[in-house]
Structure 1
Amino acid sequence: MTITYSCIANGRAVLAELALTGGSYQEAVATVLKLVLLRAEPKTIMQMGSFVYHTLFIDGITYLCATDNALDTITPSAFLKNVSDTFLRNPLMSQEHFSPSNAVATDFQQVLGKYMMKYNNNQDGSSISTLRSQVTDVKNIMSQNIDEILESENRLNIFTDRTNDLQTTAKESQKTRKILRRIWWKHCRKIVVITVVVLLLIIIILLSTNVIPT
């Protein structure tokens, strides 16, 4: 994933922007900024043409970046958070009039370039780190679920032993075994579902980090 374009806008007026690749972003950016103002949502993700536009909306200011990959949402989110923190710390933000012609626009073009290069260069390492963290979380959840299932199985075994001691007729014994068998198959299906979900999550994570080429 590469951040190809970013900008800071006050309403629909772009205050500072930078594109690392050729092409026209203005039309798509104008549409995105309009939708952000209409929705007034803190974060949005929109597909426009071949690019995905991520936005962060804070106090009327929109921080926007375009990427060439829809799967990675962590890197753009971190990029926009860094840019917004830097922008809000600037003393010129306290001025009532802030326009693209202001000298600070040039300064923030450099800020955008610095963060774009940082996140584009470091995305492989951060993706691997994120992948490891997500795989570890999935493994922990799976282990917890399996432990719960095994614990349930132990309780079922104890219940079965006690039931066998209390059975008085063949009919009651048969009915009890059927009930226990249904409970056991229910837990077996749960294990299968958990395993399939974990495998799908790992495959999606590997695809999103380009570990498995698409």
Structure 2
Amino acid sequence: CERDIDDVMTRANGVAYALVARETTPLAEHSEVEGNAPEVAKKVLQGIASNNSRQVSRTSYVQGIYLFHVLVSDGISFICMAEEDFGRRVPFVFLEDVRQSFTAKYGTQALHAAAYAFNEEFSRVLNQKMNYYNTNPQADTIGRVRKEISEVKNIMVENIELVLERGEKIDLLVDKTDSLQDETFRFRRQARRIKQEMWWRSMRMTILLIIVVFLGLYFVLALACGPRLKNC
């Protein structure tokens, strides 16, 4: 019977162990504690080795007071161990950060690499990231922001679905659009009427001006030639 991990693990705050593996083949790992975390992690690997999904999956496994958090992406498993009271948000942000760094650095090499092929180099990266996420208060803020962004996306999708499910919402929008179109039509019709009134007013002023000019010319000629203009 195997000993429980609590009996052989030196207590550590935050992420205490991390492993990157392809199916059951370890590629790189780092531990901040002594104990049998690698053995437990390998058992976890055996349980998820059949998962070859191209989609990212996230799972947590309980072992005593510890949680083994697993992120699987494109056949590569990223595992970290932390105490249960450390929560899940930061460990999965840590794993996502590790995944991005590992994928950018090794890409498809990981699909055919031998056991621990990247351990000498990438174990230092694991160590650096573990120290950062265990000691930097902003790490939890980063996780919270990412979680809030995800929740906002869910709310947005839910709201859109509610609008689509409720026909009266769409009808209301259509009615409002029709109302705006009616207002626009009335405005244009009123503008044309005002324009016509201004044109007629201008025309009346022009006709009146012509009449005044003709009358003025007549009076000048009448003074010179008489009322009937016989002397002109």
Query: TM class, shorter-chain normalised?
Result: 0.5 to 0.7
Q: What is residue 6 of structure 1 aligned with on the other side?
A: 18
Measure how far apart 1:126 and its partner are: 4.3
C-alpha offsets along residues 60-113 of structure 1, whole Å, 9 cap, x if unaligned?
1100000012561110111000100011112463375312353x3211101100
**Contact persistence 1:2–1:69 (CA under 8 A):** no
| Cα drift, residue 35 of structure 1 | 1.8
* Residue identity opposite 2:49 in structure 1: L
1:21/1:101 Cα in 2 relative to 1: closer, same or farther (>3 Å)? closer
- Alignment of 1:23 with 2:38, yes or no, is no
Structure 1 residues 26 and 15: alpha-carbon distance in aligned structure 2, compared to 1, 3 A threshold: same
Q: Hey, what does 2:130 align to over in structure 1? A: 116
**Residue in structure 2 matched with residue 76 of structure 1 by the alignment:** 91
| Residue 47 (structure 1) aligns with | 62
Matched position secondary structure for 1:31: helix
Count of aligned residue pairs for this structure pair: 133
Q: Match of 2:129, as an amino acid?
A: Y
Q: Are the aligned partners of 1:5 and 1:65 in contact in 2 as well (CA < 8 Å)? A: yes
Q: Quick check: 1:52–1:70 contact (8 Å CA) kept in 2?
A: no
SS for the counterpart of 1:90 is helix
Query: Is the alpha carbon distance of 1:95 and 1:38 closer, same or farther for their aligned partners in structure 2, counting shifts above 3 Å?
Result: closer
State the TM-score, normalized to the length of structure 1.
0.54
Q: Which whole-Å CA distance do the structure 2 matches of 1:67 and 1:120 have between them?
A: 10
Structure 1 Cα separation of the partners of residues 138 and 106 of structure 2: 34
Which blocks of at least 5 consecutive residues in structure 1 are unaligned?
138-214
User: Separation in 1 of the partners of 2:39 and 2:106?
Assistant: 31
Q: Secondary structure at the match of 1:43?
A: strand
Q: Percent identity?
A: 23
Distance verdict in 2 for CA 1:101–1:74, change over 3 Å: closer
- 1:25 deviates by 1.1
Residue 18 of structure 1 deviates from its aligned partner by: 0.7
| Pair 98,74 (structure 1): closer, same or farther in 2 beyond 3 Å | same
- What is the Cα deviation at residue 50 of structure 1? 2.8
Between stretches 64-73 and 32-41, larger displacement belongs to 32-41
How far apart, CA to CA, are the structure 2 residues paired with 1:38 and 1:62?
11
TM-score of the aligned structures, taking structure 2 as reference length: 0.50
Structure 2, unaligned runs of 5 or more:
1-12, 152-232
Change (3 A) 1:71 1:96: closer
Quote the residue 2:79 is aligned against.
64
Q: Which amino acid aligns with 1:109?
A: S
C-alpha distance in 2 between matches for 1:109 and 1:36: 22
The residue aligned with 2:104 is: 89
Shift of 1:31: 1.6
Structure of greater Rg:
2
Aligned residue number for residue 184 of structure 2 = none
